[in-house]
Chains A and B, each alone.
Chain A
Amino acid sequence: MIVCTFLKSEIMESINNIFSLKSLKSVLYFLGSMILLGGIWELISRITNNEVPSPSNTLSVFKEVMQNPFQDDPDYKGIGTKLLSSLSRVGIGFGLGSLVAIPLGLIMGSSKPVMNIFNPIVQILRPVSPLAWFPLGLAIFQDSPKASIFMIFVCALWPTVINTAVGASSISQDHKNVGKAFGFSTWKYITKIMLPFTLPHIVTGLRLSIGVAWMVIVAGEMLSGGMGLGYFVWEEGFNGGSVAKILVAIIIIGVVGLLLDRCFTQLQKRFTYSI
């Protein structure tokens, strides 16, 4: 019942937002920004004598690519199928990474010794380019999809670990005192104080992680070949000699990345609270 009314008000609010002056303004700004991008693109296309295809040419290639996006034959897969396979690998790697990163971050944040032991490891491994993990994964799993999941897993760890640890270590004395004064059990402390306090930090970490993961998957698929959007860019775009297809892929990758980021921004908003 409560959930119901909550959802209702949420929906009402978003409907109101869509028709508000503020959202109209932001839509206009967005349109302006797209027009600017198209203009620059068109200009570059003219300067390079259509070496870089113009927006209108790219649009027709886009329509062509989108003809049967979810084609899933053994010899040819549509762009939608490729996108989904990339997304699923990102999802699995990111999910596994989060399952490790969140508890690890919580423990690091709440215990100084654990923090002191793990922090140097994190600091050494964090700056390593995600692509360097790919051959290692290939050597371990002897399988390129698994190797790319492994790569996503490793690089999605760090932002979440670090943000969660920072969050958990900054629980204020006031909140801790509540737990002490009312004799909260460890379980109650974790679920009612530590997790709710750390949640906004965790979501920030997840948001950064999914951004990295999405960036890395394309590069990984170029290396591994045979699957996903990265393969599309490399094989059909570059090797197939169609710059327009490369541009189409770039646009799709960008839009999907933006949508993923938006999802986590919404989560972030949901979990923030005023003091």
Chain B
Amino acid sequence: MSNTESVVAPFIDVADNILKPVLETPTSIDISNVSVSFKTSKGIYTAVKDINLTVKKGEIISLIGHSGCGKSTLMSTISGMIKPTQGEVYANNKKVMKPGPDRGIVFQNYSLLPWMSVYKNIYEAIDSVLHDLNRSEKKELVEDNLKMVNLWDHKDKLPGQLSGGMKQRVAIARAFAINPAILLLDEPFGALDALTKSSMHVELLKLWNLDNREKTIVMVTHDIEEAIFLSDRVVVMNTGPAATIKEIVDVPLSRPRNKKDIIHSSEYMTIHDRLLNLLIDKFSIDDIKDIRKTA
């Protein structure tokens, strides 16, 4: 009996290894035991502490929390803009040491270069990352990506001549153009009005769909509706300093999601209430009464 087992064992291992990628979605981002501290004039300030988070390939994750809770800091450890003081971040199975083209970033304030046309802004990013392509291939990529966000007609304008929503679409097109496996969005729609915001959400999901839902998206936001509509999981963070993950809320709503329909579903309401409770429990009227009593 034990003899046959030892004979079969190596074959089982081989079979497991073959089946592994089929059965399990590969991990895209792995954050383990990450803490980030900054030296300030008042001493050491710890922004986030002991963060553990694994994101699967093709997943959309939202980081949500109050201002200054360190959600942007946490995301910067994935992009490589900030080095964790402790712990490690792996992206696409490689340890993150610095920013890289496998992780596209859309910044909060768009960060387009104001002295270049929309076209040039995207071209320079492609030229820098995909330097093996020839000129016409690069040009084609710029055209494809600008058409994708419906801004081809505005290609010769300077960023200063565009509205906020258009700038954000350029920034998204730029991030998509270098075809990163991971897309990092830092409060991407924070500065937009509600209507533009909604259409940008749909736009983003469209792009994600076009790409066979293979891109992993991590987004920082403080908009609960936005987080639910877009994500598979919502990571709620505690208020800093030394912020930790408070809870991870699953969003099992089926895709494609329709904004008008889902907001009336009971599932949506449950998730919405849960998130609302996690975020604003401290500010209920009862608490204020309690504070008055103790004072």
On A, residues with C-beta under 8 Å from B are 174-175, 177-178, 180-185, 188, 192-193, 196-197, 199, 273-275
Decide yes or no whether B158 CB sits under 8 A from chain A.
yes
Chain A residues, Cβ within 8 Å of B124? 182, 184, 188, 192
Contact of B113 among A181, A183, A192, A199 (CB under 8 A): A192
| Interface residues as binary, B98-115 with A (CB distance below 8 Å gives 1, 0 otherwise) | 111100110101011111
Listed A/B pairs (15) with beta-carbon separation below 8 Å: A174-B107, A175-B111, A175-B113, A177-B81, A177-B107, A181-B105, A181-B107, A182-B101, A182-B125, A182-B178, A183-B99, A183-B100, A184-B124, A199-B115, A274-B161
A42 to B105 alpha-carbon distance, docked (Å):
68
B79 interfacial contact with A, CB 8 Å: yes
What DSSP secondary structure best describes chain B's contact surface? loop
A183 and B128 CA atoms in complex are apart in Å by: 6
Asked if B109 and A183 sit within 8 Å, CB to CB, the answer is no
Q: State the CA gap A184–B101 with chains docked (Å).
A: 10
Q: Mark B111-128, 1 if CB is under 8 A from A, else 0.
A: 111111000000011011
B residues neighboring A (CB under 8 Å) = 79, 81, 98-101, 104-105, 107, 109, 111-116, 124-125, 127-129, 158-161, 174, 178
Closest to A174 in B: B111
Query: Chain B residue with minimal CB distance to A172?
Result: B111
Identify the interface centre among B81, B105, B113: most chain A CB within 10 Å of its CB: B113
Contact of B109 among A174, A196, A197 (CB under 8 A): A174
B111 pairs with A275, CB closer than 8 A: no
**With A and B bound together, what is the CA distance between A53 and B112 in angstroms?**
60
- The reply to whether B129 and A183 contact each other, CB–CB distance below 8 Å, is yes
Residues of A within 8 A of B159 (CB): 275
Contacts of A192 in B (CB 8 A): 113, 116, 124
Main secondary structure of the interface of A (DSSP, over half): helix
Asked if A196 and B128 make an inter-chain contact with CB atoms under 8 angstroms apart, the answer reads: no
The interface residues of chain B lying within 8 Å CB-to-CB of A180 are 81, 98-99
Q: Select which of B99, B104, B111, B160 is within 8 A of A273 by beta carbon.
A: B160
CB of A137 to closest CB in B, whole Å: 39
Cβ-defined partner of B115 (8 Å) among A174, A182, A184, A196: A196
Docked complex Cα distance between A180 and B79 (Å):
10
Let me know if B113 and A193 touch, CB within 8 A. yes
Report the separation of the CA atoms of residues A177 and B186 in the bound assembly, to the nearest whole angstrom.
13
Instruction: Report whether A182 and B111 are in contact in the complex, using a CB–CB cutoff of 8 Å.
Output: no
Closest residue of chain A to B178 (Cβ to Cβ) is A182
User: B116 touching A274 by the CB < 8 A rule?
Assistant: no
Partner of B160, one of A177, A181, A275: A275
Give the chain B neighbours of A178 by CB distance below 8 A. 111-113, 125
18 other contacts beyond A181-B104, A181-B105, A196-B115, with CB at 8 A cut-off?
A: A174-B109, A177-B105, A178-B125, A180-B98, A180-B99, A181-B107, A182-B124, A182-B125, A182-B128, A183-B99, A184-B128, A188-B127, A192-B113, A196-B116, A273-B158, A274-B114, A274-B161, A275-B114
Of all chain B residues, the one with the shortest Cβ separation from A274 is B160
**Smallest distance from the beta carbon of A103 to chain B beta carbons, Å?**
20
In the assembly, what is the distance between CA of A255 and CA of B81, in Å?
53
> Chain B residues near A174 (CB, 8 Å)?
107, 109, 111
State the 9 A-B residue pairs at the shortest beta-carbon distance, nearest first: A274-B160, A196-B115, A182-B125, A174-B111, A181-B105, A273-B115, A180-B99, A275-B114, A182-B128
Closest residue of B by beta carbon distance from A179: B128
Looking at the assembled complex, report how far the CB atom of B133 sits from the nearest CB atom of chain A, in whole angstroms.
14
Which residues from chain B contact A275 at a C-beta distance below 8 Å? 114, 159-160
Q: How far is the CB of A239 from chain B (nearest CB, A)?
A: 53
Query: Residues of A contacting B127 with CB < 8 Å?
Result: 188
Give chain A nearest CB distance to B20 CB in angstroms.
32
Chain A nearest Cβ from B155, distance in angstroms: 13
Note all chain A residues with C-beta closer than 8 A to B115.
196-197, 199, 273
Chain A proximity of B154: nearest CB distance (Å): 15
Q: How far is the CA of A193 from the CA of B128 in the complex (A)?
A: 13
Inter-chain contacts of B79 with A (CB < 8 A): 181
Q: Which residue of A lies closest to B109 (CB)?
A: A174
A183 to B113, CA, bound (A): 15
Smallest CB-CB separation from A199: which chain B residue? B115
Chain A: which residue is nearest B79 at the CB level? A181
Residues of B within 8 A of A181 (CB): 79, 81, 99, 104-105, 107
- Closest A residue to B106 using CB positions: A181
Q: Which residues of A contact B174 (CB under 8 A)?
A: 182
A181 to B160, CA, bound (A): 21
Contact of B128 among A185, A273, A274 (CB under 8 A): A185
- Distance of A183 Cα from B79 Cα, bound (Å): 12
Chain A residue with the shortest CB-CB distance to B100: A183
| Residues of chain A with a CB closer than 8 A to B113's CB | 175, 178, 192-193, 196
